[in-house]
Chain A
Amino acid sequence: MLVLAVLGVFLSRLLTNYPGARGAPSSTEVALARKLRSWSMPRSARSAKNPFSPSAALLQESARHFADHCASCHGNDGSGATEMGRNLFPRVPDMRSDATQRLSDGELYYVIHNGVRWTGMPAWGDPENDMDSWKLVLFIRHLPHMTPQELHDMERYNPKSVADQEEEKEEEEFLNGGPAPAAPSTHKFPSEKRK
């Protein structure tokens, strides 16, 4: 009875304080969600070893893969400071932080490969043979050490709409001495630049 009462008060406060996705999850919610995720993960998955070792070529390949598939929410730098990352509920985590970096390789792979229920994280890769997600684990380990040059290289692989591409071309021409684009010099743009 006491448990039900506490749960009732807890849920009531949550629904009152966070009517939508605007508010950030409380530390209690975050702790509960992480505990649930941990419980749902088989022990064998947590202890699984990455079949790949980091190398310059693999890091570049996985960085470009990340830029194309993951950066819309996570940002090229893994900070989660993107339009979607800041507004998803729960928030997209900063993968450079201890909370992510202290997960085992197997746990990181499990999250990428299977996704996380009730969040914005989908399941990625071939269900039977998913080597790309193991390579992404290498990249996630590298996130705290990204260089500006690596981040710049990734920008070329971020998905862009036709309008984005045309505008980027016009801006480059302007920077190289061409005429200013016909559009107003200050205007709204539909998609936020990814970091």
Chain B
Amino acid sequence: MKKTALILSTTILLSALAFAHGNLAHILGTVVAVTDHSVSVKTADGTVKEVAFDTETHFLKSGSPATARDVVVGSRVVIHAHQNGEKFHAAEIKIGTTTAAQHP
């Protein structure tokens, strides 16, 4: 009886299966400012977007792991970020091999 009740209840509990679809914003541009917790990026349309990052953010440069210190003003970056309203939080920041000085 006890085992039957457990099986019955667990069957009902676990029968639901659902998928949800989420999105990451992709932000491409040139770094115009960097702080300990965020990077500001000027995009192709001229707007500046501030994107927060933290210890969970993955940094990559030329395909290899990098750190926040590799993000400097003038760097090209591609950021994949979670968006909440107008706020962005970076899941991954890829840092370019060229800077604005080399490509004005």
| A175 B91 Cβ-Cβ under 8 A | no
Of A51-59, A93-101, A127-135, A180-188, the segment with at least 4 beta carbons within 8 Å of chain B is: A180-188
Contact residues in B for A193 (Cβ distance below 8 Å) = 24, 80, 91-92
Q: How far is the CA of A152 from the CA of B23 in the complex (A)?
A: 21
Q: When the two chains form their complex, are residues B26 and A175 in contact, meaning their CB atoms are under 8 A apart?
A: no
List chain B residues, Cβ under 8 A from A39.
3
Cβ–Cβ < 8 Å partners of A83 in chain B: 20-22
Query: Given contacts A33-B13, A35-B6, are A190 and B21 in contact (CB under 8 A)?
Result: yes
Interface residue A65 (Cβ < 8 Å from any Cβ of B): no
Q: Are B22 and A29 in contact (CB under 8 A)?
A: no
Residues of B53-104 at the interface with A, using a CB-CB cut-off of 8 Å, are 58, 60, 63-65, 76-78, 80, 91-92, 94-98, 102-103
Identify 15 residue pairs between A and B in the complex whose beta-carbon atoms are under 8 Å apart, listed by A's number: A3-B2, A14-B13, A21-B18, A83-B21, A118-B17, A152-B60, A171-B28, A174-B76, A174-B96, A175-B96, A177-B98, A180-B43, A185-B28, A186-B27, A193-B91
B76–A186 touching, CB < 8 Å? no
Supposing A152-B60, A176-B98, A186-B27 touch, asked if A21 and B6 sit within 8 A by C-beta, the answer is no
Starting from the known contacts A149-B64, A176-B98, A192-B24, 13 additional A-B residue pairs (CB-CB under 8 Å) come to A3-B2, A11-B9, A32-B10, A36-B6, A148-B58, A152-B65, A175-B96, A175-B97, A176-B97, A177-B97, A177-B98, A186-B25, A192-B91
CB distance from B81 to the nearest CB of A (A): 9
Convert A65-105 into 0s and 1s, putting 1 for each residue whose CB lies closer than 8 angstroms to a CB of B.
00000000000000000011001111000000000000000
Q: Which residues of B contact A175 (CB under 8 A)?
A: 76-78, 94-98
| Interchain CB contact (< 8 A) of B15 among A118, A171, A184, A192 | A118
Contact of B45 among A11, A20, A89, A184 (CB under 8 A): A184
Contact of A185 among B12, B17, B43 (CB under 8 A): B43
| CB <8 Å contact, A36 and B10 | yes
Hey, what's the 0/1 contact readout for A105-122 against B, CB within 8 Å counting as 1? 000000000000111100
- Interface: A7 (CB within 8 A): yes
Tell me if A171 and B9 are in contact (CB < 8 A). no
Q: Which of A25, A152, A174, A192 is B28 in contact with, Cβ under 8 Å?
A: A174
CA distance A174 to B65 in the complex (A): 19
Which residues on the B side are within 8 Å of A35 (C-beta)?
Answer: 6
Would you list which residues of chain A between 24 and 58 have a CB under 8 Å from chain B?
25, 29, 32-33, 35-36, 39
A84 to B19, CA, bound (A): 6
A189 & B24 in contact (Cβ 8 Å cutoff) = yes
Are A186 and B43 neighbours in the complex by a CB distance under 8 Å? yes
A3 touches B5 (CB 8 A): yes
